[in-house]
Amino acid sequence: MTTVSASGAYLEVQGLMKWFGSDRAVDDISFSLPKGQFLTLLGPSGCGKTTTLMSIAGLHGIDAGVIRVGGTVYTSKADGIFLPPEKRDIGMVFQSYAIWPHMTVKQNVAYPLEIRKVERREIDARVADVLRLVGLADMSEKLATQLSGGQQQRAALARAIVSRPRLLLFDEPLSNLDLKLREQMRVELKRIQHEVGITSVYVTHDQAEALVMSDEIIVMSKGRIQQKGGPHQIYARPINAYVSNFIGVANLLKGRVVGVTAPGRGDVEIAEGGHRVKLSCQLGEGVAMGEEAVVSVRPENVHAERVNGGGQRLEGEVLQAIFLGNYVDCRVRWGEFEWKVLAHPRDRLREGEKVYLRLDPEHTLAVQQ
């Protein structure tokens, strides 16, 4: 019963459905995750990512599907199985941290071990260990109310991992921290997770967080999975316009595939902004000859040049050039379309200047709408 399935999947979610009234919060979601990996569920609020997490935690029932961890069925609607949350052996870090204010840091962290009736001496040793790991060794006697936000965050993490659970769940744990602390905690969280090696599922709406920490990312929208993949893959090869736009910034132009020149490569005719041009593109999954597609180009892959060096060039005018130190954030007018361009400061682009935009076919992607 506790064997790991043949595919090497540790966490398995199959056909998960959860309705709130007539609203399908989670609409037929399936995914799996190998042991020790860090998965992020990414999407805007209301996309079903937290509902998915709560379903895994067992904090609410589900309307269809199966959830398995390490071969043990946690929830199965069809078989009427529902393991109560306390039997799931899961560590969880909540958005509000949920550090119990009537206990000290040490008491908070010791709690899961006390529940598991671990010997007092071992509890002390393990609590001290884990507090050292999260950097709260000298805070153990403090009350939760005396901690800063970042420290509460660490305490919550310590409490979640102290029992060495089978699975670690994070519900937007960094969203209440300020930007500086958030950036620091991302790296820290990843380091600690790597060190303890517990399979983790992380929920966030912050794409930067997802890119920094994850082994795998699932981009969700309206209760469905849009794309699953590694951070690099999701960023460089988004499957559709939604993912492309949600992860990072992209220039999106509607068009139609008018020619396939090589496997995975072709021409897309753009009729946007009063222009009609053919762009040479990488064709994404599900994009075929004659079909409508969206061309997606990241701002850093658009090069604004003063001279027309031939090839795939678009002539435009600099609308706006905002100097941001290590780069210049530009808007370039091309008919009615505005290109977002990242330029190098040494190019010294000025507003009102005429430029030629060079698109590298390697990084010009045609994706599904």
Partner 1 sequence: MSVQTLPGTAADAPTTSRWRSLITQESVATLIVSVLVGAAVLLPLFTLVVSSFLVLDPGGFDTAWGFDNYKTLFTDRIIPRAFVNTLLISTGSTIVATVLGVSLAWINARTNCPWRDRLEPYNLIPFFLSPFVGAIAWHNLASPKTGLLNAWARHYLGIEGYLINVNNIYGVIWVTGIFFTPLVYLFVVGSLRRMDPSLEDSARTTGAGLVRTTMTVTLPLVAPGILSGAIIVFVTSAGEFGVPFKLSAPYGWETLTTQIFSKAVGDDANHYLGATMSMALGAITAFFIYVQQRYIAPRSFTTVTGKGFRPNVIDLGRWRWVAFGYNVAFILVAVVLPILCLFIVSLHPVWTAEIIPSDMSFRNYEKTLFFWRPDAIQAATNGIFNSLILAFAGASIAMVLSLVVSHMIHRTKGFGSRVLDFLCVVPIGFPGIVLAMGVLVTYIKTPIYATLWILLLGYITRFFPYGQRNIASVMLAISEELDQSSRMAGASWLTTLRRITIPLLKPGIFAGWVLLFIIFLRELSISIILYTSGTETLSVGVYYLTNFENEPLTSALSMAQTVMLLICILIFRRVAGREALTA
Binding site for partner 1 (CB under 8 A): 1-2, 36, 57, 59, 69-70, 72-74, 79-92, 94-96, 98, 100-102, 111-112, 115-118, 129, 133, 156, 159-161, 163-164, 166, 169, 195-198
- Cβ closest to partner 1, residue 73 vs residue 260: 73
CB atoms under 10 Å from CB of 310, counted, come to 8
Q: Which residues contact 308 (CB under 8 A, 6 or more apart)?
A: 315, 356
The least distance separating partner 1 from the CB of residue 158, rounded to whole angstroms, comes to 12
Answer for the pair 43, 246: CB distance below 8 angstroms, yes or no: yes
Task: Output 163 or 240, the one with its CB closest to partner 1.
Answer: 163
Nearest approach, Cβ of 90 to partner 1 (angstroms)?
6
| Residue 203: CB minimum distance to partner 1, A | 13
Least separation in angstroms between CB 116 and partner 1: 5
- Return d(Cα 107, Cα 221) in angstroms, integer: 39
Measured from the Cβ of residue 294, the count of other Cβ atoms closer than 10 Å reads 24
* Residue among 115 and 187 whose Cβ is closer to partner 1: 115
3 state SS of 317: strand
Evaluated on CA atoms 155, 158, 162, 165, the torsion sign reads: positive
Output 198 or 321, the one with its CB closest to partner 1. 198
Residue with Cβ nearer partner 1 (1 or 262): 1
In the complex with partner 1, the residue whose CB is nearer, 53 or 341, is 53
CA 25 to chain centroid: 18
Q: In terms of DSSP H, where are the helices of the chain?
A: 49-57, 105-115, 120-134, 149-161, 179-196, 207-213, 231-236, 241-246
d(CA 331, CA 295): 18
What minimum distance in Å lies between the beta carbon of 180 and partner 1? 25
The three-class DSSP label of residue 357 is strand
- Name which of 169 and 268 has its Cβ closer to partner 1: 169
Instruction: Return the amino acid letter for 44.
Output: P
Shortest CB 331 distance to partner 1, Å: 39
Q: Nearest Cα to 334, choosing from 246, 259, 270?
A: 270
3-state DSSP assignment of residue 56: helix
Residue 162 CB, nearest distance to partner 1 (Å)?
9
Cα gap 73→71, rounded to integer Å: 6
Q: State the minimum distance, in angstroms, from the CB of residue 20 to partner 1.
A: 10
For partner 1, which is the closer residue by CB, 51 or 227?
51
Per the CB < 8 A criterion, the answer to whether 96 and 172 are in contact is: no
